[in-house]
Protein backbone atom coordinates (compact mmCIF):
# COMPACT_ATOMS: atom_id res chain seq x y z
CA UNK A 1 0.00 0.00 0.00
CA UNK A 2 2.83 2.36 0.98
CA UNK A 3 4.61 1.59 -2.26
CA UNK A 4 1.44 2.37 -4.24
CA UNK A 5 1.07 5.73 -2.42
CA UNK A 6 4.67 6.65 -3.22
CA UNK A 7 4.21 5.73 -6.90
CA UNK A 8 0.97 7.74 -7.15
CA UNK A 9 2.56 10.75 -5.45
CA UNK A 10 5.53 10.64 -7.84
CA UNK A 11 3.16 10.34 -10.81
CA UNK A 12 1.07 13.27 -9.59
CA UNK A 13 4.17 15.42 -9.14
CA UNK A 14 5.36 14.38 -12.60
CA UNK A 15 2.04 15.41 -14.15
CA UNK A 16 2.19 18.78 -12.35
CA UNK A 17 5.70 19.41 -13.63
CA UNK A 18 5.10 18.30 -17.21
CA UNK A 19 1.56 19.62 -17.78
CA UNK A 20 1.34 23.10 -19.38
CA UNK A 21 0.02 25.68 -16.96
CA UNK A 22 -2.39 28.18 -18.55
CA UNK A 23 -1.18 31.78 -18.32
CA UNK A 24 -4.42 32.88 -16.68
CA UNK A 25 -3.82 30.58 -13.74
CA UNK A 26 -1.04 32.79 -12.47
CA UNK A 27 -1.20 36.20 -14.09
CA UNK A 28 -4.28 37.76 -15.69
CA UNK A 29 -3.82 38.02 -19.48
CA UNK A 30 -2.27 41.23 -20.77
CA UNK A 31 -4.80 42.62 -23.27
CA UNK A 32 -5.06 45.59 -25.61
CA UNK A 33 -7.95 48.01 -26.17
CA UNK A 34 -8.58 46.44 -29.57
CA UNK A 35 -8.78 42.93 -28.10
CA UNK A 36 -11.09 44.07 -25.30
CA UNK A 37 -13.47 45.99 -27.61
CA UNK A 38 -13.51 43.37 -30.36
CA UNK A 39 -14.15 40.55 -27.88
CA UNK A 40 -16.01 42.48 -25.22
CA UNK A 41 -18.45 39.67 -24.37
CA UNK A 42 -15.60 37.20 -23.87
CA UNK A 43 -13.69 39.38 -21.41
CA UNK A 44 -16.70 40.94 -19.64
CA UNK A 45 -16.33 40.59 -15.87
CA UNK A 46 -12.91 38.92 -16.14
CA UNK A 47 -9.75 40.07 -14.41
CA UNK A 48 -7.28 41.34 -16.99
CA UNK A 49 -3.97 43.18 -17.16
CA UNK A 50 -3.61 46.30 -19.25
CA UNK A 51 -0.54 48.37 -20.02
CA UNK A 52 -0.55 51.91 -21.35
CA UNK A 53 0.74 55.47 -21.21
CA UNK A 54 -1.09 57.78 -18.82
CA UNK A 55 -2.89 60.45 -20.84
CA UNK A 56 -2.90 63.99 -19.63
CA UNK A 57 -5.75 64.28 -17.17
CA UNK A 58 -6.13 62.27 -13.97
CA UNK A 59 -9.70 62.95 -12.99
CA UNK A 60 -10.26 62.63 -9.28
CA UNK A 61 -13.88 61.96 -8.37
CA UNK A 62 -15.69 61.29 -5.08
CA UNK A 63 -15.36 57.51 -5.26
CA UNK A 64 -12.07 57.13 -7.10
CA UNK A 65 -9.89 58.37 -9.92
CA UNK A 66 -10.29 58.06 -13.67
CA UNK A 67 -7.29 57.78 -15.89
CA UNK A 68 -7.07 57.07 -19.60
CA UNK A 69 -4.32 54.79 -20.81
CA UNK A 70 -3.12 54.94 -24.40
CA UNK A 71 -1.90 51.59 -25.69
CA UNK A 72 -1.36 52.30 -29.37
CA UNK A 73 -2.26 54.45 -32.33
CA UNK A 74 -5.61 56.06 -31.45
CA UNK A 75 -6.55 53.38 -28.98
CA UNK A 76 -7.02 54.05 -25.30
CA UNK A 77 -9.01 52.63 -22.41
CA UNK A 78 -10.62 54.32 -19.42
CA UNK A 79 -9.42 52.88 -16.13
CA UNK A 80 -11.24 53.58 -12.89
CA UNK A 81 -9.13 53.32 -9.75
CA UNK A 82 -11.60 53.03 -6.85
CA UNK A 83 -10.86 54.71 -3.55
CA UNK A 84 -8.88 52.29 -1.41
CA UNK A 85 -6.77 50.94 -4.26
CA UNK A 86 -3.22 52.17 -3.85
CA UNK A 87 -2.38 54.71 -6.53
CA UNK A 88 1.35 55.13 -7.10
CA UNK A 89 2.77 58.62 -7.51
CA UNK A 90 2.91 59.42 -11.22
CA UNK A 91 5.76 61.59 -12.37
CA UNK A 92 4.57 62.47 -15.89
CA UNK A 93 1.26 62.53 -17.74
CA UNK A 94 1.20 62.77 -21.51
CA UNK A 95 1.15 66.02 -23.42
CA UNK A 96 2.77 67.19 -26.65
CA UNK A 97 6.11 67.73 -24.97
CA UNK A 98 5.90 64.90 -22.44
CA UNK A 99 5.87 61.12 -22.59
CA UNK A 100 3.57 59.96 -19.81
CA UNK A 101 4.38 57.22 -17.32
CA UNK A 102 3.66 53.72 -18.62
CA UNK A 103 1.63 51.84 -16.04
CA UNK A 104 0.49 48.26 -15.70
CA UNK A 105 -2.89 47.77 -14.16
CA UNK A 106 -4.74 44.67 -13.13
CA UNK A 107 -8.47 44.92 -12.84
CA UNK A 108 -11.92 43.78 -13.85
CA UNK A 109 -13.02 44.59 -17.40
CA UNK A 110 -16.61 45.72 -17.87
CA UNK A 111 -18.20 45.59 -21.31
CA UNK A 112 -20.93 47.86 -19.97
CA UNK A 113 -20.19 49.02 -16.46
CA UNK A 114 -23.31 49.16 -14.25
CA UNK A 115 -21.67 51.65 -11.87
CA UNK A 116 -20.73 53.97 -14.74
CA UNK A 117 -23.94 53.84 -16.76
CA UNK A 118 -22.86 51.49 -19.49
CA UNK A 119 -19.28 52.64 -19.98
CA UNK A 120 -16.66 50.21 -21.30
CA UNK A 121 -13.96 50.36 -18.64
CA UNK A 122 -11.59 48.53 -16.33
CA UNK A 123 -11.86 48.83 -12.56
CA UNK A 124 -8.31 48.58 -11.29
CA UNK A 125 -7.31 46.46 -8.32
CA UNK A 126 -3.65 47.27 -8.65
CA UNK A 127 -1.63 49.94 -10.42
CA UNK A 128 2.12 49.73 -11.00
CA UNK A 129 4.39 52.20 -12.74
CA UNK A 130 6.48 50.27 -15.27
CA UNK A 131 8.38 53.11 -16.93
CA UNK A 132 8.50 56.67 -15.66
CA UNK A 133 7.72 59.28 -18.30
CA UNK A 134 10.08 61.89 -19.65
CA UNK A 135 10.22 65.23 -21.39
CA UNK A 136 10.41 65.09 -25.18
CA UNK A 137 12.72 67.19 -27.29
CA UNK A 138 10.82 69.84 -29.19
CA UNK A 139 13.42 70.96 -31.70
CA UNK A 140 12.86 73.67 -34.27
CA UNK A 141 14.32 72.48 -37.55
CA UNK A 142 16.54 74.96 -39.37
CA UNK A 143 15.25 73.99 -42.82
CA UNK A 144 11.74 74.94 -41.74
CA UNK A 145 12.97 78.30 -40.47
CA UNK A 146 14.51 78.88 -43.90
CA UNK A 147 11.21 77.91 -45.57
CA UNK A 148 9.36 80.36 -43.39
CA UNK A 149 11.78 83.21 -44.12
CA UNK A 150 11.56 82.58 -47.89
CA UNK A 151 7.75 82.36 -47.89
CA UNK A 152 7.43 85.41 -45.65
CA UNK A 153 9.71 87.34 -47.99
CA UNK A 154 7.61 86.46 -51.04
CA UNK A 155 4.44 87.20 -49.11
CA UNK A 156 5.74 90.65 -48.17
CA UNK A 157 6.54 91.38 -51.81
CA UNK A 158 3.15 90.22 -53.11
CA UNK A 159 1.31 92.12 -50.38
CA UNK A 160 3.24 95.26 -51.26
CA UNK A 161 2.26 94.83 -54.92
CA UNK A 162 -1.35 94.11 -53.99
CA UNK A 163 -1.85 97.13 -51.77
CA UNK A 164 0.23 99.45 -53.96
CA UNK A 165 -1.42 98.64 -57.26
CA UNK A 166 -4.52 100.70 -58.10
CA UNK A 167 -7.65 98.65 -58.75
CA UNK A 168 -8.27 98.03 -62.43
CA UNK A 169 -10.99 96.20 -64.29
CA UNK A 170 -14.08 97.32 -66.07
CA UNK A 171 -17.61 97.55 -64.82
CA UNK A 172 -20.17 95.75 -66.93
Q: Which residues bind another protein (CB under 8 A)?
A: 33, 37-38, 40-41, 55-61, 65-66, 68, 70, 73-76, 78, 80, 94, 96-97, 111-112, 114, 116-121, 138-141, 144-145, 147-148, 151-152, 154-155, 158-159, 161-162, 165, 167-172
CB of 11 to another protein, least distance (A): 45
Cβ nearer to another protein, comparing 86 with 159: 159
Cβ nearer to another protein, comparing 19 with 163: 163
Calpha distance 66→87 (Å, rounded): 11
Cβ nearer to another protein, comparing 3 with 97: 97
Beta bridge partners of 99: 134
The three-state secondary structure class of 1 is coil
Between the CA of residue 26 and those of 42, 48, 51, 61, what are the distances in Å?
19, 12, 17, 32
Cβ nearer to another protein, comparing 8 with 158: 158
CB of 172 to another protein, least distance (A): 6
Question: Residue 147: is it exposed, middle or buried by C-beta count within 10 angstroms (0-12/13-18/19+)?
Answer: exposed
Q: Quick one: which H or E segment has residue 121?
A: strand 119-131
CB of 132 to another protein, least distance (A): 17
Query: HEC string of 73-93?
Result: CCEEEEEEEECCCCCCCCCCC
CB of 14 to another protein, least distance (A): 43
Cβ nearer to another protein, comparing 14 with 72: 72
Amino acid sequence: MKRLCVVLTIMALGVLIVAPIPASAGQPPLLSTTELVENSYKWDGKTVSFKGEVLQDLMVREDGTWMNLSDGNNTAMGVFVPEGVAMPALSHAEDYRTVGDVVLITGVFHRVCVQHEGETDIHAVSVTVLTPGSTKANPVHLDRVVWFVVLAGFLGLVMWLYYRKPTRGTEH
